[in-house]
């Protein structure tokens, strides 16, 4: 048995020991649902035991173990008062919704979330496999179920407990729904941890599009193309603004304009009126002198058509896309325009593309990395790079 296999086996054995101690911890509780929780833990231990017997151990067996969630539920249970039950199943239409903890004599419903903050935020942005539900989806379910199951003539309040923390933006969205959020708030820039873009995301680009000679430019593509950071300044400045410093570093590693120029070769450039108007508005507001000049030059090479223009292509049933989350009305207009005229939509909005795919719509796209306009910030929020 190799060194890696030995380590994995030890980690699985530690998980099993951890689960056994967890069962002992909850035996002091005499609540509705405790026996069900114990059975779930036993099932997890049985599975891990089978993994040990077969010797076919994978990292996923440790990383994806449900014991992490069960432990978080038990730890939260030990901190609340007047608990009535755990793992309570209530019906919402024809679906079963599990309430992790019901306490305060039934007046508080709690959901315990043990996933890492970055994963939670990515799922909410549509970065997940089809059918994976986000914490915002669960929030809406809990609220609807609470309304349908009043206690003492009151709608139970809903509390989401993030044991490993939660992104501050995501926390604000959940609170705006009317849910109490418990857990450390983490700034999204800290969640990103300065990691480069997941280059696998850019595999979202539609394959085999070389025969398509039309390009539909999203606002994000036009901004990247004229951005100062994509036209030399990445090698001239260090930015004090986190996101700009990050993009400048990525640009030094992976220049985007040559990628775009190469893709544009031999193709006709189009955009819709909504994209054109949004692009001009952004450039006039935050663009520098040279960025505005580049914007004017770029627009001279683009054919602008009405939003509802068509080239008699069979357009997908785009109307089934639900506006919300990463599906914004403006983006939907721009991507649908590309579909109508039979063009490849060039964009950095991979969140929209993933979210659309989750709803069963596959746009024809070429994905590039995002770049912001930087020229104004070069004068106030940047220092020169010394050679």
Query: Whole-angstrom distance between the N-terminal and C-terminal Cα of the chain?
Result: 52
pLDDT of residue 355: 86
Cα 387 to Cα 379: distance, rounded to the nearest angstrom: 19
Torsion, CA 304, CA 306, CA 311, CA 315, rounded to 10: 120
Site of tokens 């539900």: 133
Residue numbers of the chain with a pLDDT score lower than 70: 1-6, 12, 56-65, 124-132, 188-203, 312-319, 386-387
For the chain, the C-alpha Rg in angstroms (whole number) is 26
User: Is-contact 76 110, C-beta < 8 A?
Assistant: yes
Phi and psi, residue 319, nearest 5°: -65, -15
User: Is-contact 279 291, C-beta < 8 A?
Assistant: no
Cα 109 to Cα 101: distance, rounded to the nearest angstrom: 6
Looking at the whole model, is its pTM more than 0.85? Answer: no
pLDDT of residue 198: 56
> CB count, 10 Å around CB of 131?
6
pLDDT of residue 130: 45
pLDDT of residue 311: 75
Order of strands, sheet of 214-217, starting from the edge strand that comes earlier in the sequence: 303-305, 268-272, 214-217, 344-347, 365-367
pLDDT of residue 211: 93
Domain 199-384 CATH assignment equals 3.40.50.2020: no
pLDDT of residue 199: 55
Class assignment of domain 80-193? alpha beta
The domains spanning 80-193 and 199-384 adopt the same CATH topology: no
Give the DSSP letter string of 81-115: SS--EEEEEEEETTEEEEEEEEEGGGTEEEEEE-S
Q: Cα–Cα–Cα angle for 130, 136, 138, nearest 5°?
A: 80
Domain boundaries, the chain: 1-78, 80-193, 199-384
pLDDT of residue 280: 93
pLDDT of residue 200: 54
pLDDT of residue 193: 44
For residue 372, what are its two tokens? 């912001």
């Amino acid at each position: 048995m190799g060194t890696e296999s030995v380590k994995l086996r030890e980690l699985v054995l530690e998980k099993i020991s951890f689960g056994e101690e967890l069962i002992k911890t909850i035996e002091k509780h005499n609540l509705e649902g405790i026996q069900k929780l114990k059975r779930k833990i036993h099932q997890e231990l049985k599975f891990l035991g089978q993994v040990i017997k077969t010797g076919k151990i994978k990292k996923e067996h440790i990383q994806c173990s449900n014991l992490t969630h069960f432990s978080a539920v038990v730890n939260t249970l030990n901190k609340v008062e007047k608990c009535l039950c755990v793992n309570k199943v209530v019906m919402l239409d024809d679906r079963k919704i599990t309430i992790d903890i019901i306490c305060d004599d039934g007046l508080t419903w709690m959901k315990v979330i043990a996933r890492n903050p970055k994963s939670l935020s990515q799922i909410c942005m549509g970065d997940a496999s089809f059918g994976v539900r986000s914490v915002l989806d669960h929030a809406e379910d809990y609220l609807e179920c609470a309304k349908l199951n009043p206690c003492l003539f009151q709608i139970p309040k809903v509390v989401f407990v993030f044991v490993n923390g939660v992104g501050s933006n995501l926390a604000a969205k959940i609170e705006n729904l009317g849910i109490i959020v418990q857990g450390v708030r983490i700034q999204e820039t800290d969640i990103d941890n300065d990691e480069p873009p997941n280059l696998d995301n850019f595999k979202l680009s539609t394959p085999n599009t070389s025969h398509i000679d039309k390009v539909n430019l999203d606002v994000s593509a036009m901004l990247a193309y004229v951005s100062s950071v994509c036209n030399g300044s990445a090698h001239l400045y260090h930015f004090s603004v986190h996101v700009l410093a990050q993009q400048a570093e990525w640009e030094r590693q992976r220049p985007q304009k040559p990628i775009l120029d190469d893709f544009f070769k031999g193709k006709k450039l189009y955009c819709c009126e909504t994209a054109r108007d949004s692009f001009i508005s952004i450039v006039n507001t935050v663009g520098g002198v040279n960025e505005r000049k580049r914007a004017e030059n770029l627009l001279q090479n683009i054919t602008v058509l009405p939003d509802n223009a068509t080239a008699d292509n069979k357009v997908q049933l785009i109307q089934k896309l639900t506006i919300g989350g990463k599906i914004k009305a403006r983006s939907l207009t721009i991507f649908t325009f590309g579909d109508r005229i039979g063009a490849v939509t060039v964009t950095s909005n991979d969140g929209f593309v993933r979210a659309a795919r989750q709803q069963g719509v596959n746009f024809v796209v070429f994905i590039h990395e995002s770049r912001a306009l930087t020229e104004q910030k070069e004068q106030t929020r940047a220092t020169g790079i010394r050679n």
